[in-house]
Amino acid sequence: MAQPHFPTAPHPAEDDFERDLHTEHQLLNMGPSHPATHGTVKFLVELDGENIVNIDVQVGYLHRGFEKECEAGTWYQAIPYTDRLNYNSAVLANLGFCMAVEKLLGIETPERCQWLRVLAGEISRLGDHLTRCGAACLELQAMTPFLYGIEARELTWDHLEMLCGARVTSNYIRIGGVKHGMPPDFPTSCRAFIAKTRELLRDFDDVVTSNRIFVDRLQGTGVIDRATCIKYGVTGPILRSTGEPLDLRKQEPYLVYDQIDFDVPVGTVGDNYDRYLVCVEEMHQTLRIVEQCLAKLEELGPGPVNVSDPRVRWPAKGRVFNHMEELIQQFKAVTEGPRVPAGEGYTAIESANGELGFYLVSDGSAVPVKVRCRPPSFINLAPMSEMLKGAMLADLIPTFDFINMIGGECDR
C-alpha cells in the first residue's frame, strides 16, 4: 500500500539564516528646536540602526541679515549688532569689530583703554566657557554642575553690568576707546568674584571631571585630529584639544596680551573630554588674566580711556557748550558718524570659539561697503558630520555642545 504523501514544509537551508534581511537607512530629523540641544539648528541624521552614517547640518534659522544691516548704517551703528553675534561673549565681538575699524582709521588706543578691553573681554570669555560647560552637563542630564556654572555666569554678568552698564548685550567697546572706565568699587568686587568663581569651579570639578557617567559620555566621542581641524579651518578650543597650541593672543598678540602672563592649555586626543578639560583650564587662565588687568589698572590710576581723535570721539561736554567749533564737531559726529578712509582690512582676535575675524571695506564715506564677520561657530560646525561618522546617535549631543555653536554668530 502506497504511503499517503504529505507535503512537508521545506527545511530551511543553513544559509537562509545568514541571508541579509532587507534594511535601509533611516532619516531622523533633530531640531531646529530640540530639547537636548541649545541653539537653533537642524540635523538631518542618516542612521544605520543607532549609528550615524551622515549628518546634514542645516543652519540659518537665526539669520537676521547682520551684514546687510551694517551696510545700511554708520560705522558706529554696527557695534550693537555685533553684540548680537555671539551673545555669550558680546564684548569680544564688539572688540573685534572696533579693532578692525581702528585699523582702517590708523588709530592707536591709550594703554588704559587696552587693559580695560582685555579685562572686559576676558570676563566675557569666562561667561562663554561657563555656559558651554554648564549647558553640556545639563544636556547630559546633570543638573547640579549646570547650576554651579550658571551661578558663576551670573557673577560674570553682574560684573559686566558694573563695568559696561548691561548684562548681556554690553555695547562697551567703542571705536577709539571704551564707553567709560572702571567704577571705583569694581576691583574689590571683582576680586571677590574671582575667589567665588574659583570655588565654584572647584565644586564643578568635584562633581563632573572624574564622574564615571560624564567621562564615559565624553571620552572617545567626537574625535577629530589636528590635520582635519586645520583643513576645515577649525580654531579655538577644538583645535587646541588636538594638541595644536594655536591661540591668536599668543600667535599675533594684540592689545596688551604680550605683557600678560598666561598659558595656553592643549589636549592630546581631540575628543569631547579633551575639549572639556581645555575649556576648564582656559577659565582658570582667564581668571589669572583678569587679576593682572585689575592690578595694572589700579597701578595706572584714573585717566583717559579714549583717544582724543575728533574723527571718532566726541569733544568734551564743557567745550561743546561753550565753543562753536566743538558744537559743530559734535553735531557732525552725531548726525553723520565718522568717515573711515577708503581701503580694506582684516583683523582677527581670539574669541571664545576661535578666530573671530572682521574684514571691512570702506569707500571713504561714513557708511561701510562691507562688514564681513568670519564666524568661528559657523566654520567649526562644518566638520561635525566628519566628527560623528559611525558614532552613536547619543554622541551627537556632547559633540554639538562642545563645538559650542552660537546661533547668532553662526547664522548672523
Partner 1 sequence: MEDHGVPALRRLLATLPDAVASTHARLGDATAVVAAARLVDAMRFLRDDKALAFDMLSDVCAVDYLPRKPRFEVVYHLYSVAKNHRLRVKVLVNEDAPSVPSVVSLWPSANWMEREVWDLYGIRFDGHPDLRRILLYDEFEGHPLRKDYPKERRQPLVGPRN
CB of 65 to partner 1, least distance (A): 6
Q: Can residue 202 be called a binding residue for partner 1 (CB under 8 A)?
A: no
**φ and ψ at 241, to 5 degrees?**
-70, -15
Of 4-12, 78-86, 379-387, 397-405, which part binds partner 1 (CB under 8 A)?
379-387
d(C-alpha 400, C-alpha 132), whole Å: 10
Q: Can residue 243 be called a binding residue for partner 1 (CB under 8 A)?
A: no
| Of the candidates 269, 372, 290, the residue with the CA atom closest to the CA atom of residue 91 | 290
CB of 81 to partner 1, least distance (A): 13
> Angle at which helices 186-208 and 111-139 pack, to 10 degrees?
30
List 251, 259, 268, 308, residue binding partner 1 (CB under 8 A): 251
265 vs 357, beta carbon nearer partner 1: 357
196 vs 389, beta carbon nearer partner 1: 389
Q: Can residue 26 be called a binding residue for partner 1 (CB under 8 A)?
A: no
List 348, 349, 367, 396, residue binding partner 1 (CB under 8 A): 348
**DSSP-derived pairing of the beta strands 51-58 and 173-174:** unpaired
CB of 366 to partner 1, least distance (A): 17
CA torsion through residues 213, 214, 216, 221, sign: positive
Q: Can residue 25 be called a binding residue for partner 1 (CB under 8 A)?
A: no
Q: Can residue 334 be called a binding residue for partner 1 (CB under 8 A)?
A: no
Q: Provide the grid cell at 384.
A: 561635525
Q: Can residue 326 be called a binding residue for partner 1 (CB under 8 A)?
A: no
Look-up: residue for cell 605683557? 259
Q: Can residue 103 be called a binding residue for partner 1 (CB under 8 A)?
A: yes
Q: Can residue 270 be called a binding residue for partner 1 (CB under 8 A)?
A: no
Residue type, 216: D
How many Cα atoms within 13 Å fall on the side-chain side of residue 272? 30
Cβ pair 106, 71 in contact under 8 A:
no
Residue type, 73: G
Q: Can residue 370 be called a binding residue for partner 1 (CB under 8 A)?
A: yes
114 vs 362, beta carbon nearer partner 1: 362
d(C-alpha 12, C-alpha 193), whole Å: 74
d(C-alpha 355, C-alpha 389), whole Å: 26
CB of 270 to partner 1, least distance (A): 15
d(C-alpha 257, C-alpha 106), whole Å: 20
Site track 203-232 with partner 1 (rule: CB under 8 A), x = hit: ---------------------------xxx
What stretches of 56-110 show up as alpha helix (H) in DSSP? 66-70, 79-83, 90-105
CB of 34 to partner 1, least distance (A): 13
List 128, 350, 355, 401, residue binding partner 1 (CB under 8 A): 355
Q: Can residue 315 be called a binding residue for partner 1 (CB under 8 A)?
A: no
CB of 231 to partner 1, least distance (A): 6
Q: Provide the grid cell at 156.
A: 560674570
d(C-alpha 293, C-alpha 248), whole Å: 19
Please report, as residue ranges, which positions from 53 to 82 form the binding site for partner 1 (by CB under 8 A).
59-60, 63, 65, 67-69, 71-72
Look-up: residue for cell 574684514? 359
Q: Can residue 357 be called a binding residue for partner 1 (CB under 8 A)?
A: yes
Q: What residues have CB less than 8 Å from 346, skipping those under 6 apart?
A: 100, 357, 358, 359, 360
230 vs 300, beta carbon nearer partner 1: 230
Q: What angle do CA 288, 244, 204 make, to 5 degrees?
A: 45
Q: Can residue 127 be called a binding residue for partner 1 (CB under 8 A)?
A: no
Binding site for partner 1 (CB under 8 A): 29, 59-60, 63, 65, 67-69, 71-72, 103-104, 230-234, 244, 246, 251-252, 343-346, 348, 355, 357, 359, 361, 369-370, 372, 374, 378-379, 382-383, 411-412
